[in-house]
Amino acid sequence: MKAHELARELGISQKELVNFLQQRRLTRNTAAPLAPGAIEAARSAFKPATATPKIETNGDRRAALPPTLSVKDLADKLSVSPVEVIKKLMASKILVTINQVIDFATAEIVADEFGYTVEPVASEDVVAVESAEGEGNVVTTSREELFSLANEDPTKLTTRPPIVTVLGHVDHGKTSILDAIRQTRVAAGEAGGITQRIGAYKIETADGHPVVFIDTPGHEAFTAMRARGAQVTDLVVLVVAADDGVMPQTVEAIHHARAAKVPIIVAINKIDKDNANPERVHQQLAEQGIVTRHYGGEHECVHLSAKTGKGIDDLLTTIVLSSDILELKANPDRHAIGTIVDAHLERGRGPVATVLVQAGTLKVGDDFVCGHLYGRVRALADDRGRAVNEAPPATPVVVSGLSEVAQAGDIFQVVGSEKAARQIALTKLTEKRTQEAARDVAPRITLEDLARRAKEGEVKELSLLVKADAQGTLEALLAALQKIEDPVVAIKIVGQGVGAVSDSDLLLAGVSSAIILCFNLKPTPSSTAAAERAKVEVRYYDVIYKLTEDVERAAKGLREPTYRQIREGRV
């Protein structure tokens, strides 16, 4: 039970209840559910009374609210005037303006005053878009609503190619299968034989059917990248090696596909090996709830060998037939919308982003917004590096024209004017800063945690500054580092970014006594000299598990030796 609910039950104001609880140190976070002891204490101190009069409600009124929103947006969702919202906040001694951003807890209090029950919505599911009136006006909608075909003119919908994500365990041959399909050698250029960056590729089958593939990295540290690939996909090809069988990342990939609610096509690879055992793979998959047609289930399955090329055509045919059943459609005439698959800095071109266009047609010269960034499309290039003037639905394309490196997973949307793009970007930037401020207030390791661990032993910190060549890679590195746990040493990320080590990075690392970890970046003579002058250690890696191993060893190195006295005998 939350504070406002208990206050309503007891017939007192929420402010009075909160003051009572805080004076007795029974609560600190008024937005969180109250502890049973706090509820009992309040019920004992206050006699239940008739609830305070509220605005009359017609039925159960609910509102879905994001973690942060402006006063105007809150008023729109509650169907009241912004002035009324401001008055309610002023009554609680909170002074705001119509465009000021407030957090969920504050909005929940206001909504309760107007008789609404609110539900939290993840910030990534809330999208700012240009209103129907245009003129730079901004409204919010959900990600699902933005990509929905419900509001499209059925006469303008055309068939689009399927978007296929290839998932599976590391080294089971995902990239090799795409190599066989594309007849290129991508895997040979990857460090450790593991794909380090998401790539999106469009191919045509022998029958002329276009298919878009998303190649997700196979290392388990790239969980977030694989999950993001599944969010934009129509079909998942689950690759399982015939010799290894179902492995941990295979199970993880199954969970991603199920969460995305998309059909799964099983591709049993490496059937050319002497120790291949496809039957065992079918049985292991059945144990995970993936019953193939081989066993009378619903999931298509293809036996193939990426090395010899056997079964590749069968896989493509299965993909095309499965996509026909889905009846995939898109409106090519609307403003283009899509998803950032990856983003990085490119020498001579600046920040570029790989965009998977999901609806509409993206053209050179279009004004766009992506997250808190906006710009105009300067150039487009397909997955083979060829310049193109436009990109229809279900097309991966490299976009130039961004002012900064975009956030992988953000929505890329074309708008009617630069004014609209700027206003939407400003809305997202305000929200981003509010969320960052909230994260700064509540860091991962709290003072209470440090105090508790200080009683058990001295707490030390290993400060790191992480740099990578692409935004998607950076996300994966941060996720991998967060998984490293040490009972004594706290790992602290003091900074992060995309691109080469800058002077500001060296300055931050110097004052924080941090080590700089660079992934898929090359040292330059100038950066090496600058690091030596700043007396900052900079390490370079191209295989992620080597980086995490070094961090784990460094954390152990900070531990004090433990001395124990062992009695071996008596004289």
Say whether pLDDT at 381 is over 80.
yes
Q: What's the pLDDT at 30?
A: 54
Chain position carrying tokens 């993206």:
362
Closest listed residue to residue 21, CA positions, set 134, 31, 227: 31
Q: Considering the domain boundaries, does residue 55 fall inside one?
A: no
Confidence of residue 554 (pLDDT cuts 50, 70, 90): confident
Looking up tokens 């079964």 gives 311
Pick from 70-74, 421-425, 561-565: least confident: 561-565
pLDDT band at 388 (very low <50, low <70, confident <90, very high): very high
Question: What tokens does 144 get?
Answer: 């699902």
**Where is average pLDDT lowest: 112-116, 366-370, 382-386, 505-509?**
505-509
pLDDT confidence of residue 392: 95
Q: β-strand 367-370 against 337-346: which pairing, if any?
A: unpaired
Residue 255 has pLDDT above 50, yes or no: yes
Does residue 495 sit in the same domain as residue 539? Answer: yes
Predicted confidence band of residue 562 (pLDDT cuts 50, 70, 90)? very low
Domain-located, residue 145: no
Of 274, 303, 329, which residue sits at a domain end? 329
Contacts of 311 (CB under 8 A, 6+ apart): 271, 302, 303, 304, 305
Q: Is the pLDDT of residue 302 over 90?
A: yes
At residue 28, the pLDDT reads 56
Residue 141 CA to residue 153 CA, distance in Å, equals: 19
What string of DSSP letters covers 381-431?
E-TTS-EESEE-SSEEEEEE--SSPPPTT-EEEEES-HHHHHHHHHHHHHH
What is the 3-state secondary structure of 267-327? EEECCCCCCCCHHHHHHHHHHCCCCEHHHCCCECEEECCCCCCCCHHHHHHHHHHHHHHHC
Looking up residue 180, the CATH number of its domain turns out to be: 3.40.50.300
497-505 mean pLDDT: 84
* Beta pairing partners, 331: none
Looking at residue 546, which CATH number applies to its domain? 3.40.50.10050
> Does 16 fall in a domain?
yes
Same-domain pairing of 287 and 389: no
**Is 131 contained in some domain?**
no
- Give the distance from CA 137 to its chain's centroid: 27
Asked whether residue 462 falls in the same domain as residue 536, the answer is yes
Does the structure show a pLDDT above 70 at 210?
yes
pLDDT for 407? 78
DSSP string, 47-60: ---PPPP----SS-
Q: Do 424 and 130 touch, CB atoms closer than 8 A?
A: yes
- 311's tokens: 């079964």
User: In degrees, to the nearest 5, what angle opens at C-alpha 326 toward C-alphas 408 and 331?
Assistant: 60
The domain that contains 97 carries what CATH number?
1.10.10
The CATH number of residue 391's host domain is: 2.40.30.10
Domain count, the chain: 5
- 8 Å CB contact between 323 and 162: yes
Lowest mean pLDDT among 16-20, 228-232, 393-397, 443-447: 443-447
Q: Quick one: average pLDDT of 257-285?
A: 91
Whether 11 and 36 have beta carbons less than 8 Å apart is answered as: no
Do residue 304 and residue 377 come from a single domain? no
Burial 223-240 (b: 16+ CB within 10 A, else e): bbbbbbbbebbbbbbbbb
Q: Which pLDDT value is given to residue 129?
A: 60
Element spanning 141, H or E: strand 138-142
Judge if 341 and 375 occupy the same domain.
yes
Long-range contacts of 90-99 (CB under 8 A, 24+ apart): 92/15, 96/71, 97/71, 98/70, 98/71, 98/72, 99/70, 99/71, 99/72
Same domain for 31 and 75, yes or no, is no
- Does pLDDT of 196 surpass 80? no
In a domain, 565, yes or no: no
Which of 36-50, 79-93, 446-460: highest mean pLDDT? Answer: 79-93
Closest to 318 measured CA to CA, from 236, 424, 437, 407: 236
pLDDT of res. 249? 79
pLDDT at 194: 47
Average model confidence (pLDDT) for the chain?
78
**Are 190 and 300 contained in the same domain?**
yes
Name every residue whose Cβ is closer than 8 Å to that of residue 90 and which is 6 or more positions away in sequence. Answer: none
242 and 347 part of one domain = no
pLDDT (average), residues 70-90: 88
Model confidence at 60, in pLDDT bands (50, 70, 90)? low
Containing domain of residue 14, as a range? Answer: 3-46
C-alpha span between 361 and 394 (Å, rounded): 10
Q: What pLDDT is attached to residue 65?
A: 81
Cβ neighbours of 495 (radius 10 Å): 16
Cα–Cα distance for residue pair 546/497, rounded to 1 Å: 20
Report yes or no on 113 lying in a domain.
yes
Answer whether residue 349 is part of any domain. yes
pLDDT bin (cut points 50, 70, 90) of residue 23 is low
249 with 230, same domain? yes
Give me the residues paired with residue 164 across strands. Answer: 213, 235
Once rounded to an integer, what is the mean pLDDT over residues 521-539?
Answer: 86
Most confident of the following: 210-219, 244-253, 291-300: 291-300
Q: In this structure, are 322 and 344 located in the same domain?
A: no
Domain boundary among 294, 329, 364: 329
Least confident residue range of 109-123, 280-294, 336-350, 550-564: 550-564
pLDDT of residue 533: 84
Q: Are residues 396 and 431 in the same domain?
A: yes
Between 202 and 462, the more confident residue is 202
CA distance 371 to 413: 9
Based on the domain organization, do 452 and 511 belong to the same domain? yes
- Is residue 149 in a domain? no
Q: In the chain, what percentage of residues exceed pLDDT 90?
A: 25
The alpha carbons of the chain give a radius of gyration, in whole angstroms, of 27
